[in-house]
Amino acid sequence: MTKRRLIGLLIALSLALILAAVGVRWLGKSRAPQAAAVPPEAVAELASTDLVAVAPVDLNLGWPVSGTLRAVNTALVKARVAGELQGLRVREGDAVKAGQTLAQIDATEYRARLQQAQQQADAAKAQVDIAQRQLDNNKALVAQNFISQTALQTSLSNLEAAHAQHRAALAAADVARKSLDDTVLTAPISGQVSQRLAQPGERLGVDTRVLEIVDISRLELEASVAAAQSVQLKLGQSAQLQIEGSPQPVNARLVRINPSAQAASRSVLAYLVIDNKTGSGLRQGLFAQGSLGTGSTRVSAVPLSSVRTDQATPYVQMLREGRVVHQPVELGARGTVGDEVMVGVDLPPGTQVLRASVGLLRPGLATRMTEVAAGAPKR
What secondary structure letter does DSSP report for 308?
Answer: B
CA angle 84, 89, 90 (to 5 degrees): 120
CA 326/CA 317 separation, integer angstroms: 5
Strand partners, 320: 323
CA 75/CA 142 separation, integer angstroms: 64
Q: What is the pLDDT along the chain (379 residues), one digit of tens a residue?
A: 566 666 766 677 777 777 666 665 655 555 545 544 556 667 788 888 888 888 888 877 777 788 889 999 999 999 999 999 999 999 999 999 999 999 999 999 999 999 999 999 999 999 988 888 888 887 878 777 777 778 778 888 888 998 999 999 999 999 999 999 999 999 999 999 999 999 999 999 999 999 999 998 899 999 888 887 778 788 888 888 888 887 888 888 999 999 998 888 888 899 999 887 655 678 888 898 888 877 777 888 888 888 998 888 899 998 888 888 898 988 887 777 766 777 888 888 888 888 888 888 888 888 888 875 444 444 4
pLDDT at residue number 81 = 94
**Residue 77, SS3?**
strand
Contact by Cβ (8 Å): 187, 74 = no
pLDDT at residue number 29 = 54
**All domains of the chain in start order, with CATH:** 107-182 (1.10.287)
- List, in sequence order, every beta strand (DSSP E) within the chain: 43-47, 51-53, 55-78, 83-86, 95-96, 101-105, 184-186, 191-196, 203-204, 209-225, 238-243, 250-261, 268-274, 287-303, 315-320, 323-328, 331-337, 340-345, 352-354, 366-370
pLDDT at residue number 373 = 45
| Length in residues, the chain | 379
pLDDT at residue number 375 = 47
Phi, then psi, of 352 in degrees rounded to 5: -85, 120
What pLDDT, in 10s, does the model give residues 51-97?
888 888 887 777 778 888 999 999 999 999 999 999 999 999 999 99
